[in-house]
Structure 1
Amino acid sequence: MNQSEMCPRFEKAVDILSKRWVALIVFQLLNGSQRFSEIEAALPNLSGRVLSERLKELELEGVVKRDVIPETPVRIEYSLTDKGKALAPILGEISKWATEWIDPSFLD
């Protein structure tokens, strides 16, 4: 694949992953299926409204799957698709890079 063919795909991938909270949501879902409230609790600075928007966007992109479990009350769980799970090594490398290169004194 030459540079001109790859560029739009790369740009789209970066566009998806660079949206605020997306990488952290995907990183959280690498732990397995979770309910909305579990994701929300794990990312306390993320509002419910934004989490809902991001989950819908990730579902449309085929990164996240929304499962409705027919119980009383109905339970909804979110999990990564194969496309989402394929991001694990990328996010793992970002995590390693951050550990090595991000100075903790610059964090809030």
Structure 2
Amino acid sequence: MTITPQLTILLDVALLFSLTSKKECEMIRVMESIKFENSCIESISETLQLLSGKWTFLVITELLKESQRFNQLRRNLGNVNTKGLTDTLRNLENHQMIKRQVYPTVPVSVEYSITPKGEAFLKVFNEINLWKTKWDSPDVI
């Protein structure tokens, strides 16, 4: 939660009419700021945990290109083992980043595709790239 203009006005009015002390108003502002920081840190931490798998980023980038079957993904990723890929796909499916479509063929065919939630993550990847490009330059100190 951020300190909204309304909260600031309420605190100033309370201070003006001596309903609360200046010290109490400052404490409230600090507490609201800390709540915002904790919420932000928690969100970033959860997102990084989602992406922390060895193959997660690469699976997302492959599925951003096109929907793929398991073995096609495995070939495109190179030296990923079956268990590692299976765990990664399940984790991404549980977080609704990808969709698993089962086709009733013999043998059963399974295709993985990116969801709108997963596609939205492309913006995050682009921002990371912009940040790296800006700050990885030898001119930037």
| TM-score when normalising by structure 1 | 0.80
8 Å contact from structure 1 (residues 26, 84) kept in 2 = yes
Q: 2:127 and 2:79 mapped to 1: Cα distance?
A: 24
The residue number in structure 2 matching 1:67 is: 101
Aligned residue in 1 for 2:38: 4
SS at match of 1:67: strand
Q: Deviations over 1:7-37 (max 9, x none)?
A: 1111000111122110001011001210001
Q: Distance in 1 between matches of 2:56 and 2:77?
A: 11
Give the gaps of 5 or more residues in structure 1: 102-108
Instruction: Please report how far the alpha carbon of residue 58 of structure 1 lies from its aligned counterpart in structure 2 after TM superposition.
Output: 0.8
State the TM-score, normalized to the length of structure 2.
0.63
8 Å contact from structure 1 (residues 40, 48) kept in 2: yes
Query: Does structure 2 conserve the Cα–Cα contact (< 8 Å) formed by 1:64 and 1:84?
Result: yes
Q: Residue 83 of structure 1 aligns with which residue? A: 117
- Segments of 4+ moved more than 6 angstroms: none
Q: Which residue of 2 aligns with 1:53?
A: 87
* Counterpart-to-counterpart distance in 2, 1:64 and 1:13: 15
What amino acid is the match of 1:63?
Answer: M
* Equivalent residue pairs, number: 100
Among the aligned pairs, what percent are the same residue? Answer: 32
RMSD over aligned CA atoms reads 2.0
Q: Which amino acid aligns with 2:67?
A: S
Q: Which runs of 5+ in 2 are unaligned?
A: 2-35, 137-141
CA distance in 1, matches of 2:112, 2:121: 16
- Which of the pair has more CA radius of gyration? 2
Residue 22 of structure 1, aligned match among 56, 68, 79: 56
Report the Cα offset of residue 55 of structure 1: 0.4
